Chains A and B, each alone.
Chain A
Amino acid sequence: MTRGAASRYALPGAIALLLFLMITALGVGDMPLSPARIWAGLMRTDELAAAIVWQIRMPRLIVAVFVGGSLAASGLVMQAYFRNSLASPGLLGVSSGGTAGAVVAIGIGIAGTSLLVMPVCAIIGALIATSAVLILARSGASTERLLLAGIALNALLAAVTSFVLSQSILSYERNAQILFWLLGGLEDRSWEHVWMVLPTALAAILLWPLGRSMDLLSLGANEAQSLGVDVRRLRRIMIVLSTVLTALATAVSGTVGFVGLVVPHALRLMLGPEHRRLVPLALIGGGAFVLACDLIGRAAGGLRLGIVTSLIGGPFFLWLLRRKV
C-alpha cells in the first residue's frame, strides 16, 4: 500500500483496531464473556457481567489506552524536539524520573495520603529528569550524545530507586508496591487510577494543534523561527506536555518501556513524518499497542505489561539503531 492510501485509511483503521481490542479486552479473562454478555454487562442487565465489565476490565482497559496514548504522544513530541527518531521517554530517562518520583513517594510513606500524591511526585521526578536531559543533550544533539545522556540518567535514577528499595526492605507492602512500579503493569487498576490518568486527555488536546509547528521545528529551530514559529514558546509547551504525559502514565502503570519509541516510529514509517497526522494516530495507536501488549501478557499467564512491551520494543530498538548508525 502506498503512503497516500495508508494515510487515508490510517485513522479509521486505527479507531477500528482500538475498538476491536477494547471489545476483546472486555471479553477475555478468567471468566470469558461473549459479545452479548459484554453488552448485557455494559447495560447492567446481567449483574455478574456488569461487575466484571465495570469493576475489573473497564478501568484496566481505559488505563491501558490512556497510558499507551500518552507514552506514544510523549515519544513523538520528544523526537520532534530533539530532531532524533531515537528520542523517547524511556531511553532518555524521563520515565525513570517519573518512576523514581513515585517510588520515593511510596518509600517515605506519603503515597496513600492523597490521590494526587503519586502523580505529583511522578511529575516532579520526570521534570527533574527532563531538565537533566535538556542540559546534557541540547536540541539537534547526535544520537550518540542523546543515548549516552539517557544511559547516565537512567543509571542515576535507578540508583535512587534502588536506594529507596533498600531502605524499605523490612516493609513487605511497600516493597511489593515499589516492585509493581519497577516492572510496570496494569493489574488491579481501578476507577481511581482512571481519574489519575484522565488529565492526559487535556494534554493530548493541547498537543493536537501543534502538529504543523512541530513539523517546522523538527527540521531545525532557526529555520522554524525564521518561518514564523515562536520556537521558545513551542519548546516550552512541548517539554511540559511530554513530561506530564509520561509522568501521569508512569504514575498509574509504572515503567512501561519502548512505547514512546516503537509507536511513533512505526507510524512514521507507514504514514510519513507529518505531525498533524501523527499526533492523533500516536494517541490512538499507542492506546491500541499497550492494550494489545496487555492482552498478550494476560494470555501468557499474567506476564507484566512492562515485560511484554520490552520484549517487543527491545529488538525493534536494536533494529532501528542498526539502520541509523
Chain B
Amino acid sequence: MNALEAENVTVAGRLEEVNLSLPRGQLVGLVGPNGSGKSTLLQAIGGLLEHDGEVHWFGRDLNHIPVMERGRLTTWVPQETQFAFGFSVRSVISQGRYAHGDDDHGIDGIIARCDLVELADRPVNQLSGGERMRVLLARALATEAPLQLWDEPLGPLDVRHALEVLTMARQLADDGRTVVLSLHDLRIAHCLDSVAVLDNRRLRALGPPDDVLTPELLLEVFGVKARITPGLALEIP
C-alpha cells in the first residue's frame, strides 16, 4: 500500500484533478513554474485548504482524521511567514509538540541539529528570512510527523544551510518518513527519490528525477533548454 494517495484533488481555479501516489520513506520534489499549483497542492494534502477529491494516508481519509491526530501525522512548513509577536526561537520550536501534549520531547536535540543553539532565546520576529525558515523546519521536525510537507524550504537559505536541510530531509526519508518539498532549483533534483512536475495547475509527470526531467519536458513546462555541464559540486565537510 502506498503511504500517500491523492485522488482527483481539485481546488477551484488553482489546482485541477491531481492524482498522486507516494510510498513511505521517500524524498519527493514538487517542481513547476510560478503559479503552477505547488503551494496549493501542499496545503490541500495537509488539509489546510478546502478542496474536492480525497487525500488518504495509509488508507485513511486525512480530511476525516481529528485535527489533533492529524497534527501528529502531517506537518506543513509555509514558504514565508511573518511573526507578529516576539516568541523565542525555543518557544516556537516547542510548538511542534502541541499535538503530543506539549511534552518538549527532543527539543534541545533539534535546536542543535538545526544550528539554532545561539539563536534559541532570540525573538523570532528579529531573525532574517533564512533563520526564520530554519526555525520553521525545526518546528516541523519536532512534530515527528511521518508526512512532512515543506513549501520552498531552500529558497531563503544560504548554501550551507540548504545542504544541511537537504541532508536532514534525506535522513527523515531514510527513517521511513515521506518528505514532500517544493523547490525551484532543478539542479538539486538528483538528491531526490522522485519528482512531481506541476504545470498550469495539473500534475504533468511523476517519477524518478532522471526519468521525469527530460530536456523535452523542461522545454515544454519551463521554456528552458537543458544542458548537462560539469558544475560546482558542494558538500558539507
B48 touches A222 (CB 8 A): yes
Chain A 2-42 against B: per-residue CB contact (8 Å), 1 yes, 0 no? 00000000000000000000000000000000000000000
A252 to B98, CA, bound (A): 38
B98 touches A216 (CB 8 A): yes
A219 touches B75 (CB 8 A): no
A273 to B72, CA, bound (A): 25
Chain A 207-221 against B: per-residue CB contact (8 Å), 1 yes, 0 no? 000001101101110
Is A299 on the interface with B (CB-CB < 8 A)?
A: no
**Complex interface: chain B residues within 8 A of A193 (CB):** none
Tell me the chain B residues, 94-152 only, with Cβ under 8 Å from chain A.
95-96, 98-99, 102, 139, 143
Tell me the chain A residues, 228-256 only, with Cβ under 8 Å from chain B.
228-231
B15 nearest CB across to chain A (Å): 16
A273 touches B68 (CB 8 A): no
Pick the contact of B98: A83, A212, A220, A272 (CB < 8 A).
A212
A225-B47, A230-B67 are contacts. A220–B75 as well, Cβ < 8 Å?
Answer: no
A219-B92, A226-B75 are contacts. A273–B87 as well, Cβ < 8 Å?
Answer: yes
A223 touches B67 (CB 8 A): no
A173 to B86, CA, bound (A): 49
Is B83 on the interface with A (CB-CB < 8 A)?
A: yes
A218 touches B84 (CB 8 A): yes
A228 touches B92 (CB 8 A): no
B84 touches A226 (CB 8 A): no
A273 to B95, CA, bound (A): 13
A103 nearest CB across to chain B (Å): 34
**Complex interface: chain B residues within 8 A of A223 (CB):** 76, 78, 81
A66 to B46, CA, bound (A): 42
**Complex interface: chain A residues within 8 A of B98 (CB):** 212-213, 216, 227-229
A212-B98, A219-B92, A229-B67 are contacts. A274–B76 as well, Cβ < 8 Å?
Answer: no
Is A88 on the interface with B (CB-CB < 8 A)?
A: no
A215 to B90, CA, bound (A): 13
A83 touches B84 (CB 8 A): yes
A272-B86, A274-B87 are contacts. A225–B67 as well, Cβ < 8 Å?
Answer: yes
Tell me the chain B residues, 55-74 only, with Cβ under 8 Å from chain A.
67-72, 74
A230 to B81, CA, bound (A): 20
A216 to B136, CA, bound (A): 12
How big is the A interface, by class?
20 to 34
B46 touches A226 (CB 8 A): yes
A228 to B142, CA, bound (A): 13
Chain A 302-313 against B: per-residue CB contact (8 Å), 1 yes, 0 no? 000000000000
**Complex interface: chain B residues within 8 A of A272 (CB):** 86-88
B71 touches A227 (CB 8 A): yes
Is B8 on the interface with A (CB-CB < 8 A)?
A: no
Pick the contact of B85: A212, A222, A273 (CB < 8 A).
A273
A228 to B43, CA, bound (A): 14
Is A85 on the interface with B (CB-CB < 8 A)?
A: yes
Chain A 254-273 against B: per-residue CB contact (8 Å), 1 yes, 0 no? 00000000000000100011
Is B200 on the interface with A (CB-CB < 8 A)?
A: no
Is B91 on the interface with A (CB-CB < 8 A)?
A: yes
A272 to B139, CA, bound (A): 19
Chain B residue with the shortest CB-CB distance to A228: B71
A227 touches B88 (CB 8 A): no
**Complex interface: chain A residues within 8 A of B47 (CB):** 225
A215-B95, A216-B98, A225-B48 are contacts. A273–B86 as well, Cβ < 8 Å?
Answer: yes
**Complex interface: chain B residues within 8 A of A226 (CB):** 46, 48, 71, 74-76
New contact pairs (4) apart from A219-B85, A226-B71, A273-B87, CB-CB < 8 Å = A219-B87, A223-B81, A227-B75, A231-B67
> Which residues in B have some Cβ–Cβ distance to A below 8 Å?
43, 46-48, 67-72, 74-76, 78, 81, 83-88, 91-92, 95-96, 98-99, 102, 139, 143
A-B pairs, 8 with minimum CB distance: A228-B71, A228-B99, A273-B85, A83-B84, A226-B76, A230-B67, A228-B68, A222-B48
> Which residues in A have some Cβ–Cβ distance to B below 8 Å?
83-85, 212-213, 215-216, 218-220, 222-223, 225-231, 268, 272-274
10 contacts between A and B (CB under 8 A): A83-B84, A84-B84, A212-B98, A213-B98, A220-B78, A222-B76, A222-B78, A228-B99, A229-B67, A274-B91
